[in-house]
Amino acid sequence: RERERESDRETTMRRGGFLSSSAAMAVVVAMLVVSAHTVCAEIVNQSVERNIDLSTGVVRGTTRISFVNSGSLDVTTYRLAFSSYDARRLAFLAVVVDDAHAADGAHAAPLAMHRDGNNVEVMLPRAVPPGATMRLRVSTVLVASLNPHPSAIEQSEKPRVMFL
């Protein structure tokens, strides 16, 4: 019986029910090669300007990012990372190319994004070649991020909040 079970396991592995160790290793190596090709281009943030608006019951953020591609391959995506605290409270996210040459009042369409946990991968509208720069404007809205401080006040006092 033990030999029959072992034979059944080997048959199942050959049919694709499970990957053998060499097949699994090949898959892992293939994934690493694809990942290395995708992220080997180096992005260096040249400047990051962040404005936070706490005047309403939510936290509105606007971040302007200027980056340069210092690698040897074209860059087609830009990854944003959020803390787990902010990722849970992220109610709105929009990323647009911040073009200084655009006409006043012109609004660019938000870029396509893919969210994976605390990270958001932004698909750039055009490839950024080595040595070139691009500016992005990231707009966020966080909910349940303001805590009253102190927690109890008199009716005549102005309410205050803390944002951490």
pTM (2 d.p.): 0.68
pLDDT for residue 147: 84
Length of the chain: 164
The answer to whether 67 and 49 are in contact (CB under 8 A) is no
Segment 138-155, tens digit of pLDDT: 999 999 888 888 888 888
Phi/psi for 77 (5° steps) reads -135, 155
pLDDT for residue 150: 84
By CB neighbour count within 10 A (0-12 exposed, 13-18 middle, 19+ buried), where does 75 fall? buried
The low-confidence residues of the chain, meaning pLDDT below 70, are 1-41, 100-107
The candidate with the shortest Cα–Cα distance to 122, out of 134, 130, 104, is: 134
- Token look-up 């958001």 returns 120
Segment 48-76, tens digit of pLDDT: 999 999 888 899 999 999 999 998 999 99
Q: Is 102 left (phi over 0), alpha (psi -120 to 50) or beta?
A: beta
H-only helix segments in the chain: 2-15, 21-39, 84-89
pLDDT for residue 42: 86
pLDDT for residue 81: 93
- Token look-up 């040249």 returns 46
pLDDT for residue 29: 35
